[in-house]
A and B are shown apart, each in its own frame.
Chain A
Amino acid sequence: MKSLRTAGLVIVAAGVLLTAVPSSAHHSFAAEFDASKCRDFSGTLTKVEWTNPHGFFYVDIKDPDGTVHNWSFQTYALITLRRAGTSLQLFKDNIGKDVWVRGCTAKNGKEHYAAAGTLKFASDGVVRQMGQLQD
């Protein structure tokens, strides 16, 4: 039994080694955002800014006390979004509709501002990668 466990560990370790990839040259998520302050957000998409080096989209999100705040979420550069199949038109088609976002808030304490990791429009239920919530 012990040797089976050992063999399992070796297989897992070998798998990690074989699948390790060098990280692509990019700027650091951890320098600007707090990986310990990530959460799910639900609200209504209000606006999109299709700009570089990052896109931004805005969501009206209701606090537990009922107050609504307009949050802005940072995305990948537009080239990355486009090559992954996410277009400006997709955002435009979903303005005024429900959206779910997984994101992490800024380290400098800026309110209602976060990096987006994944996003799901209620209209099609597809989970799309918007950014990387780790380095």
Chain B
Amino acid sequence: MRSRLRLGGACVAVLALLGARHVPSHAQAAQQYAIRVMPPGGPAPRLPDGHPDLSGHWLPNSAGEGVSGRDGVDPAARRQFDPKVTPEAPPAFQPWAEAKIKAMTPVELELSKSSVNCMPRGLPAIWLQNPYSTVIVHTPAMMAQLYEVLNNWRLVYTDGRPAPKDPEPWFHGTSTTHWDRDTLVVDSFGFDERTFVTPTGWFHSDAMKVTERYTRPSKNYLIVEITVDDSKVLTRPWKSAPRRWTLGNGEVYEFYCTNNRELDELGKLKEQESYGK
């Protein structure tokens, strides 16, 4: 009993210490890192029509610069969101969809990833599984998104034009937009079914609808929140955490996928997997 009490006391003491000193200790600890969380940077710029201007060179982290393959990075600067603060629930799959994903072999799962097969990520994966930067050019009538990965791009019209009645299936779907105060809401449908929502085998149907909510709370931060509604695959819509993108220095690199050996290498592994069955 006494040792249990001591254990409880130790836990309380440590948690109290962590709780009481959390903010200042993190601020102090962050000083030791060369790459830190980006400051807000002042108010967000505005378009001539008064709405927030989402233009910028955006990196998928909280640092405003590259963090992969680098030392001295504050863990908080690597993140797009803190799951302890804004947790992200897993998607609620229908039983048949869950069974289909579970039946995928490790190699099949690997071959489904756009980072391996060089297919466009498409929407919503471009905002959920993209480690590279995105340039947004925003005017009152249009938002152009220029993705560094695979040199893909997308135009989102914000001039109020209606969606076509029978859109062709596109990797980024067909979109309509409206403003919810300072949030740009983009509703999209009509997707090419070859893409995956996440690199964990989450496939989607032709019924998928995606809502993107864009806010720019300050000059250096863009927040993107995604909702996926897919009545044929999910039992209820899935909502992402609000994910942070930070303003980069405008250096954008070319990324054409021209030397993909992984398909060959994984193809050989798939053969070995088949023989093993």
Contacts and interface: CB of A to CB of B under 8 A. Distances in A.
Given A31-B266, A108-B265, A26 B131 contact: yes
Interface string A1-41: 01100110011001000110110111110111000000000
A79 B79 contact: no
Contacts of A106: 265
B253 A14 contact: no
Interface in B55-93: 60, 65-66, 68-71, 75, 78-81, 83
Which of A22, A86, A129: most chain B Cβ within 10 A? A22
Interface in B229-277: 253, 255-262, 265-266, 268-269, 272
Contact of A32 (B9, B131, B266): B266
Interface stretch (B110-118, B138-146, B175-183): B110-118
Contact of A80 (B60, B65, B69): B69
Interface string B13-33: 111001000000000000000
Nearest to A110: B265
B110 A52 contact: no
A76 B69 contact: yes
B203 to A, nearest CB: 16
A61 B148 CA distance: 35
Contacts of A95: none
B18 A24 contact: no
Given A22-B83, A31-B109, 19 more contacts: A10-B10, A11-B14, A21-B75, A25-B115, A25-B199, A26-B199, A32-B262, A32-B269, A49-B259, A53-B115, A53-B260, A53-B262, A54-B262, A83-B65, A83-B66, A83-B70, A110-B268, A129-B69, A129-B71
15 contacts: A2-B3, A2-B6, A3-B9, A3-B10, A6-B10, A14-B15, A25-B115, A25-B131, A27-B116, A28-B110, A53-B115, A79-B148, A79-B253, A80-B66, A82-B253
Interface of B: 3, 6-7, 9-11, 13-15, 18, 60, 65-66, 68-71, 75, 78-81, 83, 106-107, 109-110, 113, 115-116, 118, 128-133, 148, 198-199, 253, 255-262, 265-266, 268-269, 272
